Structure 1
């Protein structure tokens, strides 16, 4: 049984109790939110951990750190360093997006080391394997995709981005209106090429029931991937994006009926004035499912500083109701991040979500700010470091100042 199936039977699981304690809520409150689909608890049956976290309405907004190897950078040790940096900076979840090197080994390392939920995008590895073995993504068999989903679920992956809502109808909307950036989602791009070449509907949509069966078997939380998300603010809220949300909303209902936990992935690039309407539209069309946003990036001209741009959008989006925020690093749009980029991205996202939570959750979120202000009044530097989002930075600045004072 899944967390959702148990909740529907009135059962309060160990995982729900842990989430409730972490959020300072009653366990039955968490159970009831799970029943309504407003909260998910990523917790694969095959992966036991000491701690669990919830994502959704009324909870602290969580931060995800995505990383992964590439064909040009296949080093698993590099990925371990980035993982350690993300965890040290306070990431609530990790996504392994590896597309090069020993992908299985990198995922195995991540699952073994990470104390937080681990997510993946199975279509990546299925597509890369097809390129290596058959020369092209479009030669991939539908069975290859489902086999990869099951393989990663069995390995213990807690949540998966699966682009079930990327349909031929959605692509027709994109063709009608056109875009500056076309399709920027790698998973969406893989499936688009496959559908157009083979003149077939997306098998993740036509055989969605099979996706649900796998997810239910291992209690994998589905993150319905936004394969049609805009890649520039000028493309935000176009016909294709809205059509994709309509399809995704139907898939959310089917997942809940099957007892599968589900959240919805969102954009991406959204101008500041459209953030509220984007969140509201998603919540309405997708029946209050937890919303997993990728940013949001409110400008496209800040290359090298996109973690700052995403923090601006992330704070506003959190306030508007986003539940799960994927960090953006300074290397976004430029190359793969290193461990310092990862750390900066996580810290920026945590600042953004905390600022948004103060507006969204009030005193529940702002209590830490009050405590830190009190520590400043007392000039209690140790307490300030303990309460700060990046305590090491506080210690570094204070230590440097003390050394200067000695010289003076």
Structure 2
């Protein structure tokens, strides 16, 4: 029998809540963290709103030594990782030297830091470029800085599958636990709310250009018009179940019971889309059948064609209106590499409390989708198994099943 990998700690930095319980309270209330961009002047761009993490004062969480060498993204990630380890009750110094590893997801690295140093280069000269530019922008920097800060010398990885990355990172963390690493720190945190991070997203044609925060990002709605970017994410502590119980872990949020990933064909390719296969394979990997899934946390693109494709995949696996579906990210925006990790943390909180959070801003799903979208108020339900779905730009699909903790 394979070793069970369970989640014992959560650390969340999100646009509608800094810290797990603040985030969860806001999410259940359908409160949104989406609003006008403040991190840079976005008035010249067609899209001018985002989900920004509120009330984050980096100096309250990050040492003065680390401040010059870290981007806003990495400061959020370090904060979330520290909270996750604290929540799990784990002191790395009390574990074997190679007993804790780190695997995180990334999209494009710390683009805000990189942009600032490039501006210094072209406006002032090379002597004004920080030596930390050599690594601070790098896509693997969150994994590296978390490892260094907590002296975690176990297996270290980074997955680059955009919005799907958080699930892929957790899938890799489960592999490492099954191979004998007792504890993995995993998930994803991203932050690309700066011109360098903004322009490529606008160029994709997928961002909403509606600048009313309450109407811009409406996944599965009839008037969906694209997505809104956000920053933040979640870091989770993934642990061998026997080891967690043996050390008397304060809580087990749930088990990472099933995982699968697929890749869609290139545009015009002969293969069919592969999202439904990822969903079905994750359910099967958990030893379940579709009827065992109690709730789906959807990828929820907000792009009409992509919403139709996801709804079709869900109805293919579960049948029309076959399972409650929710998209709490409608209140945060899409967090790039942090999105799926945050959705997984949200799913675990739902399992803990027996309640499905609503999809913020959306009154009802477009009837053409034939899904049971949870809107308005939270929905209480006896939840045992939750499915988290994510898709990354470029054809990446990932699905994760989490099972309620004992």
TM-score (norm 2): 0.29
> Which is richer in strand?
2
Name the structure, 1 or 2, with higher relative contact order (CA <8 Å, separation 6+).
2
Q: Which has the larger radius of gyration?
A: 1
Higher helix share: 1
